[in-house]
Amino acid sequence: MRRTRLAGALTAVIALALTATGCGGGDSPKAAPAAKAAAAPDRVEPLSSPASPQLPVTVGSADGRRVTVDSTERIVPLSGSLSEIVFTLGLGDRVVARDVTATFEQAADLPVVTRAHDVSAESVLSLKPTLVLAESTTGPAEAIAQIRDAGVPLVVVPAAKDLDDVGSRIDDVAAALGVPAAGEELRERTAERLDAVREKIPAHADRPRVAFLYVRGSAAVYLLGGAESGASSLLEAAGAVDAGKESGLKKDFTPITTEALAQAAPDAILVMTKGLQSVGGVDGLVKIPGVAETPAGADRRVVSVDDGVLLNYGPRTDQVLASLVDQLYGAKK
């Protein structure tokens, strides 16, 4: 689960979800039955021309500070999304650690400096970083303060909320790394690829209703995404309706109940791949109270995307959108 938006949103609701255990219809276009995940590739694709940092630079940080970066020789990005951007800009050989959510192959052998979803300041500082990149939801605050107090330049990037944030995040990271031209190239490449996916979305009079469920069977956590879950922008870009948002759920997540699912009445269900595995696949998912009674549950229409990329809103978001489109509209794998 990516910490930047989703983990912060879940903190306040997991206690409720642990006690919550727990229907509709529609003739919207039907999603393809999906027991298989359509995860984005496990590798990022760096720009063809390696970037050469022009330093020092002084940049704004999302926490209101001005930060001067003198060296990018030892970079620690504290989220999977930020790691993807750094590697895609061509500076992956300078990254010395990773967050647990950086799951792509190029980062696999790097030491992890987070415990669950909390940053270990001691682990970060032991690697002698010359630049730390964080998101506005990265924590705990004490760890961030400890890294700063040690004199390490730390730049905070606003947390991603939707597709509109992709370009600005790339620009922010590129500016902090002293490679603004490479950032512009990557931003344009990403925008072009997203546009190419959008052009392939079938036109339908009735858009499929899709509910985003966050499930972790091992912890008995079953949540329904609402307007602030982070998934709405992707679903809407894929030509779908965010069923949770449309049913009136204004916050990020709420514990799944039969009533909430009946109100959402999804034609398809979106889940993260590991979450689907944690409940025993589609067979286990439809046993969650209320799921089987939805149109999606009755027809076993489940869309799954890898945890490491679904809500990253970074250079691989076009692949996420393409996966959603393929699964929703029945493209053959």
pLDDT of 58 reads: 98
| pLDDT band per the 50, 70, 90 thresholds, residue 6 | low
Would the pLDDT of 31 be above 80?
no
Counting Cβ atoms within 10 Å, is residue 116 exposed (0-12), middle (13-18) or buried (19+)? Answer: exposed
pLDDT of 205 reads: 64
pLDDT of 35 reads: 38
Would the pLDDT of 154 be above 60?
yes
Q: Between β-strands 268-272 and 241-242, what pairing exists: parallel, antiparallel or unpaired? A: unpaired
Q: Which tens digit of pLDDT belongs to each residue from 193-234? A: 999 999 988 887 689 999 999 999 989 999 999 999 999 999
Q: Which tens digit of pLDDT belongs to each residue from 61-116? A: 999 999 999 999 999 999 999 999 999 999 999 999 999 989 899 999 999 999 87
Q: Which tens digit of pLDDT belongs to each residue from 281-325? A: 999 999 999 999 999 999 999 999 998 899 999 999 999 999 999
DSSP structure string for 51-97: ------EEEE-TTS-EEEE---SSEEESSHHHHHHHHHTT-GGGB--
Stretch 45-52: mean pLDDT: 91
pLDDT of 28 reads: 38
